[in-house]
A and B are shown apart, each in its own frame.
Chain A
Amino acid sequence: KAGVTQTPRYLIKTRGQQVTLSCSPISGHRSVSWYQQTPGQGLQFLFEYFSETQRNKGNFPGRFSGRQFSNSRSEMNVSTLELGDSALYLCASSLYLGDYGYTFGSGTRLTVV
């Protein structure tokens, strides 16, 4: 059974650019969440999608956005990149909303120069 797949694994971008990250959840899972991990802030919740709708959003600026497609695949977009956006971005999938536990992907390492 395939796990959560995140692409690309690594990205280097320049300040001011935008970036799109992709996440394919476990087959049959309908909920996808995104987290940012940095050495200073640890793991922080970005947003969650279920049935193509954003159900919950963390405390991040509007430059961070996402969407979910009908096949449950999700994309996350960051516009006008800042140096502080350098982080490991992790995607997690769950069967449904709430109380089913989460399976994480290997992450996308974003470096902003």
Chain B
Amino acid sequence: KQEVTQIPAALSVPEGENLVLNCSFTDSAIYNLQWFRQDPGKGLTSLLLIQSSQREQTSGRLNASLDKSSGRSTLYIAASQPGDSATYLCAVETSGSRLTFGEGTQLTVNP
């Protein structure tokens, strides 16, 4: 059974800091890995999708890497801003077209 773990569970940083969120998964037989952002009481916003054959994806100040063999992914956020405050969720897609989510990292960026 696939299990996804995210570390840390919560993170508070001052504005402008670069930061790394970690995600690990137990079964390397994944189709892809997707990072999402969730604001309180809202739905999920897709940030980056990394196919299993890819090593990384970039979008603006966000960079996500994937090491399938070791079961790890990192989300790098450069020059963090207060608007980045949210919960960040990592999800892997496995056979059967289902997403398995981690518990999320709650990020607070202080002005």
Binding site for B on A (CB under 8 A): 4, 6, 31, 33, 35, 42-43, 45, 48, 50, 55-56, 58, 88, 90, 92, 94, 97-99, 101-107, 109
Contacts and interface: CB of A to CB of B under 8 A. Distances in A.
7 contacts: A4-B43, A33-B97, A42-B102, A43-B101, A102-B34, A103-B46, A106-B43
Interface of B: 31-32, 34, 36, 41-46, 49, 51-52, 89, 91, 93, 96-104
**Which 6 residue pairs are nearest across A and B when measured between Cβ atoms?**
A104-B44, A101-B49, A106-B43, A43-B101, A99-B31, A45-B98
A99 B93 contact: yes
B43 A99 contact: no
A31 B101 contact: no
A104 B43 contact: yes
Contact of B98 (A48, A90, A105): A48
Given A90-B43, A99-B93, 19 more contacts: A6-B43, A42-B101, A43-B89, A45-B99, A48-B98, A50-B97, A55-B96, A56-B98, A90-B44, A92-B44, A92-B99, A94-B97, A98-B31, A98-B93, A99-B31, A101-B34, A103-B46, A104-B44, A107-B43
Contacts of A99: 31-32, 51-52, 93
Contact of B103 (A33, A42, A88, A98): A42
Contacts of A33: 97-99
A58 B1 CA distance: 12
Contacts, number: 63
Given A104-B46, A106-B42, A107-B42, A56 B97 contact: yes
Nearest to B4: A42
Contacts of A106: 42-43
Contact of A101 (B43, B46, B98, B103): B46
Contacts of B36: 104
Contacts of A50: 97
A99 to B, nearest CB: 4
